[in-house]
């Protein structure tokens, strides 16, 4: 058996998230079908991040075993020739036998894209959250980001029924930027809870609208704080799994340009 890692890019609007679903088509199932066909026996795939339904990926990483050794480029081309619409393998490499896309990941990075123009280009509309109106101070929201950095209990930034036993996560970078009509939030951390980035954005927009002060974000980490006072969960279409860091040189060839 030979272990491989592949970097996948996909349009999350076409799938019910990354993880296998009993009655809905997921990205994981789609990739496993193709690899199993090429391998002539079942292949299980492990993903670095479990993106929800509607969430996109620029660079999801998965690991899997093939019963025979393939040339990396040939396997990459065979995979792309058979993957369904909306999924592309951007690069692929052989790895050490014990490599695991999820458990060996040191840092995951997400970006949430928003559009603030009065009109919108149709080709970007499926991949951004369109915020209408000009009564937003994104500088204030940017200031609030610093309170999200560091190690915190992110229970108030998680879907209630999905809060894990240990909701503490370490955010290495939380930055919000604006250029023209584009506003984007970049979040890099050790791991993420369900809906976490989308709920962070829902709270930051309350600051941008002037309904809350930047320091208010801190109160959401206090014991006994009420999630009901927090902002709404932003829709999935603006969110991308952007990068996975392993602290090692993983990719040998077929380097991406974006």
Contacts of 164 (CB under 8 A, 6+ apart): 158, 193
Q: What is the CA radius of gyration of the chain?
A: 19
DSSP 162: G
Give the CA diameter of the chain: 59
239-245 and 56-66 beta bridge pairing: parallel
Which residue in 52, 65, 153, 255 is the catalytic one? 52
CA distance 54 to 51: 8
Half-sphere exposure of 83 (CA within 13 A, CB side): 24
Contact 127, 56 (CB under 8 A): yes
Structure tokens at 100: 């695991």
Is 71 one of the annotated active-site residues of the chain? no
- Residue 167, classed as helix, strand or coil, is coil
Helix (H), strand (E) at residue 114: strand 107-115
Question: How far is Cα of residue 34 from the mean position of the Cα atoms in its chain?
Answer: 23
Contact 211, 86 (CB under 8 A): no
Contacts of 78 (CB under 8 A, 6+ apart): 38, 70
- Residue 193, classed as helix, strand or coil, is coil
DSSP 10: E
Catalytic residue numbers read 52
């Amino acid at each position: 058996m030979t272990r491989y890692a592949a970097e996948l890019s996909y349009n999350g609007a076409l799938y019910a998230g990354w993880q296998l679903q009993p009655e809905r088509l997921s990205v994981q199932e789609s990739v496993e079908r193709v690899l199993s066909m090429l391998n002539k026996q079942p292949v299980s795939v492990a993903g670095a991040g479990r993106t929800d339904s509607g969430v996109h990926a620029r660079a999801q990483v998965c690991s899997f075993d093939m019963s025979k050794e393939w040339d990396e480029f040939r396997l990459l081309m065979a995979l792309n020739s058979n993957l369904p619409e909306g999924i592309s393998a951007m690069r692929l490499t052989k790895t050490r036998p014990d490599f695991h896309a999820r458990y060996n990941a040191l840092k995951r990075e997400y970006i949430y894209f928003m559009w603030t123009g009065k009109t919108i280009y149709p080709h970007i509309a499926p991949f951004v959250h369109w915020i209408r109106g000009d009564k937003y101070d994104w500088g204030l929201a940017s200031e609030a980001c610093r309170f999200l950095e560091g190690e915190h209990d992110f229970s108030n930034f998680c879907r209630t029924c999905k809060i894990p036993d240990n909701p503490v996560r370490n955010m290495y970078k939380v930055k919000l930027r604006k250029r023209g009509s584009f506003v984007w939030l970049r979040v890099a951390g050790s791991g993420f809870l369900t809906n976490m980035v989308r709920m962070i954005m829902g709270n930051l927009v309350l600051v941008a609208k002037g309904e809350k002060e930047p320091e208010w974000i801190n109160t959401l980490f206090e014991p006994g704080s009420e999630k009901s006072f927090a902002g709404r969960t932003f829709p999935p279409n603006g969110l991308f799994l952007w990068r996975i860091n392993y602290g090692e040189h993983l990719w040998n060839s077929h380097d991406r340009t974006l």
